[in-house]
């Protein structure tokens, strides 16, 4: 944490566990609670062109959290980046709190979609990329975060199979792979996307430099997936 010239706190990566503790009451968090933490931080800190001031700007990048389970890391990053007040965090899950165990875009500043039921984010992301393209907005990127087990849902495969041939270059997906699928995708996750014409990179989901490189790799004419491998959920 640092103190900026105007006296506001600026939060860094090292502050995220503390912010999560405001929600969970736990000092330490296991791999399941933090599986998305590093990806989220790298995206919001270095990749996404979106700020609290730009959250209604048509030219902003869109980040769609499809895997809405365990959103503490997401809320912590949104709070650290100033989208929502830190003093909302302790109310997490309570009746009067905007912060539920699955995020609601109507209630959470900066949340592009509501999620919870799995397999909805990628089709919505496809539509967002189509909608931006149809309006000539070639700048904004659309990012969708899903989990490896979320790929069980067939709706994802409708979206994956369409987005490649449609050449949705501004569509990006991060699959956080913590080996939680009971039946792993035959051939592997990256291969599934590559077979549909996507650009794909698989990296260590805890390595910030590797994540940054993967998220900013060029992929002309194709949608892009980053498979971020983290510790197995049940290890």
Residues that bind other proteins (CB under 8 A): 58, 104-106, 112-114, 117, 119-120, 122-135, 137, 154-155, 158-159, 161-162, 166
Query: Is the CB of 80 or the CB of 129 nearer to other proteins?
Result: 129
> Please, are residues 171 and 125 in contact by the beta-carbon 8 Å criterion?
yes
Query: Is the CB of 20 or the CB of 168 nearer to other proteins?
Result: 168
Contacts of 18 (CB under 8 A, 6+ apart): none
Closest approach, Cβ 141 to other proteins, in A, equals: 13
In sign, the C-alpha dihedral spanning 146, 151, 155, 159 is: positive
Closest approach, Cβ 119 to other proteins, in A, equals: 8
Compute the C-alpha angle 186/188/194, nearest 5°: 110
> Please, are residues 182 and 147 in contact by the beta-carbon 8 Å criterion?
no
Query: Is the CB of 89 or the CB of 159 nearer to other proteins?
Result: 159
Edge-to-edge strands of the sheet including 171-177? Answer: 62-65, 142-147, 171-177, 224-229, 199-204
Query: Is the CB of 5 or the CB of 106 nearer to other proteins?
Result: 106
Closest approach, Cβ 99 to other proteins, in A, equals: 16
Closest approach, Cβ 64 to other proteins, in A, equals: 8
Q: How far is it, in rounded angstroms, from Cα 100 to Cα 87?
A: 15
Closest approach, Cβ 127 to other proteins, in A, equals: 2
Query: Is the CB of 86 or the CB of 130 nearer to other proteins?
Result: 130
Query: Is the CB of 166 or the CB of 201 nearer to other proteins?
Result: 166
Closest approach, Cβ 120 to other proteins, in A, equals: 6
Q: Which residues pair with 199 in a beta bridge?
A: 224
Query: Is the CB of 142 or the CB of 214 nearer to other proteins?
Result: 142
Rounded to 10 deg, the angle between the 154-163 and 121-134 helix axes is 30
CA 26 vs CA 5, 91, 100: distances in Å = 32, 14, 18
Closest approach, Cβ 110 to other proteins, in A, equals: 14
Q: How far is it, in rounded angstroms, from Cα 140 to Cα 146?
A: 20
């Amino acid at each position: 944490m640092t103190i900026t010239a105007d006296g506001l706190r600026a939060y860094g990566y090292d502050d995220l566990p503390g912010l999560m503790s405001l929600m969970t009451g736990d000092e330490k968090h296991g791999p399941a609670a933090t599986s998305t933490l590093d990806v989220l931080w790298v995206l919001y800190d270095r990749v996404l062109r979106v700020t609290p001031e730009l959250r209604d700007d048509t030219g902003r990048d869109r980040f769609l959290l499809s895997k809405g389970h365990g959103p503490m890391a997401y809320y912590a990053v949104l709070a650290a980046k100033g989208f929502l007040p830190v003093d909302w965090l302790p109310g997490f899950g309570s009746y009067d709190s905007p912060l539920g165990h699955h995020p609601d875009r109507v209630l959470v500043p900066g949340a592009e979609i509501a999620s919870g039921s799995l397999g909805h984010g990628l089709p919505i992301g496809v539509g967002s990329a189509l909608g931006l393209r149809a309006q000539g907005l070639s700048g904004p990127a659309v990012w969708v975060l899903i989990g490896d087990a979320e790929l069980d849902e067939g709706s994802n495969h409708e979206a994956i199979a369409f987005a490649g041939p449609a050449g949705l270059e501004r569509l990006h997906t991060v699959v956080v792979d913590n080996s939680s699928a009971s039946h792993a995708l035959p051939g592997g996750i990256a291969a599934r996307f590559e077979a549909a014409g996507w650009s794909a990179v698989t990296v260590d989901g805890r390595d910030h430099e590797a994540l940054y490189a993967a998220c900013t790799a060029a992929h002309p004419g194709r949608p892009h997936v980053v498979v971020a491998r983290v510790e197995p959920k049940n290890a």
